[in-house]
Structure 1
Amino acid sequence: MILNRYERMVAKRYLLPGRGEAFIFLVASISLVAVALGVAALIVVMSVMNGFRAELFDKIVGLNGHAVIQGYAGQGLRDWRDLVREAQRTPGVTSAIPLVEQPLAATVEGRVEPVLVRGMRLPDMRDAIGRLVKQGSLAAVTPGSNRVAIGSGLAQALGLTVGDSLSVVNLSGQATPFGTAPRIVNYEVGAIFEIGIFDFDKAYVVMPLGDAQQLLLLGDAVGMIELRTSNPDRVGQILAPLAPKVAGHGVLVDWRQMNASLFQALAVERVTMFVVLSIIILVAVFNILSSLIMLVRAKTRDIAILRTMGASRGALIRIFMTVGVTIGVLGIGAGAVLATIFLYFRQNVVDVVQAITGEDLWDPSIRVLTTLPSRVDPVEVTAIVVMTLVFAFLATLYPALKAASTDPVQVLRYE
């Protein structure tokens, strides 16, 4: 929209408060603030939702892989070495990790907690949780050492620290003439790690693969083979050639099947929040509409004079559309700045609100993640900006056309 010099001057004059126009300026200011709050709310919520999904994906898939090969009916994989070689030869598969994973129970001085025992080869263990260790060292967790690494939540629940002991109970022990005798093995805590997902940190007990096989009486079998691919979004196409080779040995399940309900719920919630918060921006744009209508009514005499001086209808349309769009652009800019500040200090904001209200707003046992995540998507921010601009543009059409249709003869006749 190209304005000439006098059109820019008039538009600037209408954007600033004049004598007796304080109320119109107040309404326009409220419109600008409303647009800013709407844009900021939409950017913040969408960024937090994106961050929540990305953090869940990185942590869940990062620990459990992009797909797994499991034995039928919970049976172990005895020919797992051949399957690992077949997987590693599949184009797009970056790693194939044999492991044992079984829900059991851990006890310390009468306190019992459900745990998820995971047995891994030492190099795979270091790759998975080496950078997550908070206390102790994985160097102490070696085959035959009877040492394990546990999650920080489990350590807190059982009151454990590095060097303490815990007992892991396997109810499916050896059969005796008097029934099945539970298998209880004592382990020393060699390291404590923190994944960042409450349920994982409170459950995982990680040990060398051989120790886990001995605990679960699996012999040389493993429970599953964890697969990682070069592109998680194309995991189905990448693993398609491997599926026929796995048939007869086990089942191939990818991350979308393992976590389908969780990520589908997040996708639905994300779309719902976008629609709901878009309504806030729409309401803010109606404020722009109302302020422009009042401005046109207040400037009826000025419009008539401009028309008699030679101003065209197109010039008046451009002037009032410029006023409305400028309010929208300023609101978008202010909203973007506000959203940036909020996202940068998001965890501080949560802590301050918790301190004021006395409520735990981010309980990891409910929110899954230990901190409030955020990930800004430039495409979404662009979409929000364009959507707000379109709404602001549409809101200016009626007032601008109304101003352009003013009949100077009828107006000036009664002046």
Structure 2
Amino acid sequence: MILNTFEWTIAKRYMLPGRGEAFIALVAGISLAAVMLGVAALVIVMSVMNGFRAELLDKIVGLNGHAIIQAYGGRLDDWQDILKQVRATPGVTRASPLIEQPLLATFNGRVEAILVRGNTAEDIKRLEEKRVAGSFAALTPGSSNVAIGSRLAENLGARVGDTVTVVNPAGRSTPFGTVPRQIAYTVSAIFEIGVYDYDQAYVVMPIPDAQTLLLTGDTIGMIEVTTTNADTVNQTLAPLKQQLAGRAVVTDWMTINGSLFKALAVERVTMFVVLSIIVLVAVFNILSSLIMLVRAKTRDIAILRTMGATRRSLLKIFMTIGFVIGALGTMVGLGLGFVFLYFRQSVVHAVEWITGQNLWDPSIRFLTELPSRSDPVEIVVISVMALVLSFLATLYPAMKAASTDPVQVLRYE
């Protein structure tokens, strides 16, 4: 829809407020602001939802891998052979032995439930980027050094260099019964994964130390597996599941965290539909402002018709006016949305300071900060949706203007 000079001149004249048209200009401004806020709300909410899912997936998968292989009974006796099988499977990029066991930790009279993780030296080195204090270099087999999560350190009141005691209730049997096994470990490093549940529970140590603590000998608890694509892990490990049938269970991240990610997916779709209604309401504002403009300019339209303006020209003029309002609102809304996302954490802190409420409690939200990740495809869909709805809103007023009969209008002038 290309406008000639005459049509564009008339469209610009009607888009700018004139004498006695302040109310129409106000309604048009409200329409623009409504489209802007609707688009910004969609961009902000969808980006935060995408960021929440992506960050949660990255942190969970980054620590636990895409899948876990665990033997019946919790102990893999022939884990070296299974590890070779896993590493030889096409699509598997990394496989590491792992020991994970819930126990208790005490320090200065404080007791906390913990999750002891026995990792290889390579996996411990991968945690280096999550370190907030101390050093992982001291985590060597037999050193009695451990690394603990930042939240756990806060709960225990422990710092780097302190000695915490890990209690294993399944200790050695004695004539007086089973005596819990208690071993003291020096905190050599504190790390922060960014997932509250992990940071308040994990105690990381070398695999040999974990085997000594748990009295498991040379066995391990599980093997964590990372594949080339987290979304296709089920297909990648399908042959391995058949090979290990009856010996071990292969569980992927989708199964372990299925309910959480399904809930996020449903919430994401619901929020998109609900917030789209805001854009729809804004489009009705464009419709009403154009109807008012057409009624106010009925005499002008009749004069234009008598001067030779065609119905097609009038149709294009009023469609352009409404579409420009929608397009400007969409562009400003996109800008506002991206600015809000850039300063999102500052906005959260400001609202918390004003209201005195904790809006982002990591114990509830899993993550320690408000995440954001914009999907270009979704941004395009939001923009196109706003533009299409704005265009559709112009059809009725434009056709009404184009169908104006100059004879009937000017007869009574």
Give the TM-score normalised by structure 2. 0.99
1:361 deviates by 1.0
Measured in 1, the distance between the counterparts of 2:226 and 2:74 equals: 22
Q: Deviations over 1:73-127 (max 9, x none)?
A: x420011100110011111101111010011111112211110000011122112
Residue 306 of structure 2 corresponds to 308
Measured in 2, the distance between the counterparts of 1:221 and 1:241 equals: 24
1:197 deviates by 0.8
Percentage identity across paired residues of the two chains: 67
Residues 67 and 226, structure 1, Cα contact 8 Å, conserved in 2: yes
Residue 247 of structure 1 corresponds to 245
Residue 56 of structure 1 corresponds to 56
1:379 to 374, 377, 394: 377
Measured in 2, the distance between the counterparts of 1:345 and 1:137 equals: 33
Residue 200 of structure 1 corresponds to 198
Instruction: Give 1:13-412 correspondences, 5 Å limit.
Output: 13-72=13-72, 74-127=73-126, 129-412=127-410
Instruction: Give 1:1-16 correspondences, 5 Å limit.
Output: 1-16=1-16
Residues 104 and 115, structure 1, Cα contact 8 Å, conserved in 2: yes
1:169 deviates by 1.0
Amino acid at match of 1:373: P
Measured in 1, the distance between the counterparts of 2:40 and 2:357 equals: 25
Residues 162 and 191, structure 1, Cα contact 8 Å, conserved in 2: yes
Q: Secondary structure at the match of 2:95?
A: strand
Measured in 2, the distance between the counterparts of 1:399 and 1:121 equals: 70
For structure 1, the residue ranges without an aligned partner over 5 or more in a row are: none
Measured in 1, the distance between the counterparts of 2:384 and 2:11 equals: 23
Residues 74 and 222, structure 2, Cα contact 8 Å, conserved in 1: no
Amino acid at match of 2:281: V
1:311 deviates by 1.2
Q: Secondary structure at the match of 2:239?
A: coil
Q: Secondary structure at the match of 1:172?
A: strand
Measured in 1, the distance between the counterparts of 2:339 and 2:230 equals: 32
Give the TM-score normalised by structure 1. 0.98
Measured in 2, the distance between the counterparts of 1:210 and 1:58 equals: 28
The more displaced of 81-90 and 236-245 is 236-245
Q: Deviations over 1:31-59 (max 9, x none)?
A: 00110011001001100111110000000
1:312 deviates by 1.2
Measured in 2, the distance between the counterparts of 1:172 and 1:309 equals: 98
How many residues in Structure 1 have an aligned counterpart in Structure 2? 413
Amino acid at match of 1:193: F
The more displaced of 165-174 and 374-383 is 165-174
Considering only aligned residues, what root-mean-square deviation do their CA atoms show, in Å? 0.9
The more displaced of 116-125 and 202-211 is 116-125
Measured in 2, the distance between the counterparts of 1:151 and 1:229 equals: 26
1:268 deviates by 0.4
Amino acid at match of 2:160: V
Amino acid at match of 1:133: R
Measured in 2, the distance between the counterparts of 1:192 and 1:84 equals: 29
Q: Deviations over 1:166-209 (max 9, x none)?
A: 11111112223333221111111011001011110000000000
Measured in 1, the distance between the counterparts of 2:53 and 2:124 equals: 25
Measured in 1, the distance between the counterparts of 2:177 and 2:21 equals: 91
Measured in 1, the distance between the counterparts of 2:36 and 2:332 equals: 5
Residues 174 and 183, structure 1, Cα contact 8 Å, conserved in 2: yes
Measured in 2, the distance between the counterparts of 1:134 and 1:352 equals: 26
Q: Deviations over 1:147-168 (max 9, x none)?
A: 1000000001101111101111
Q: Deviations over 1:255-314 (max 9, x none)?
A: 110110000000001001100110001001110000000000000001111111111111
Measured in 2, the distance between the counterparts of 1:194 and 1:130 equals: 10
Amino acid at match of 1:237: Q
Measured in 1, the distance between the counterparts of 2:74 and 2:60 equals: 24
Measured in 2, the distance between the counterparts of 1:179 and 1:26 equals: 84
Measured in 2, the distance between the counterparts of 1:94 and 1:318 equals: 58
Q: Secondary structure at the match of 1:168?
A: strand
Amino acid at match of 1:398: Y
Residues 69 and 246, structure 1, Cα contact 8 Å, conserved in 2: no
Residues 24 and 289, structure 2, Cα contact 8 Å, conserved in 1: yes
1:236 deviates by 1.3
Residues 65 and 226, structure 2, Cα contact 8 Å, conserved in 1: yes
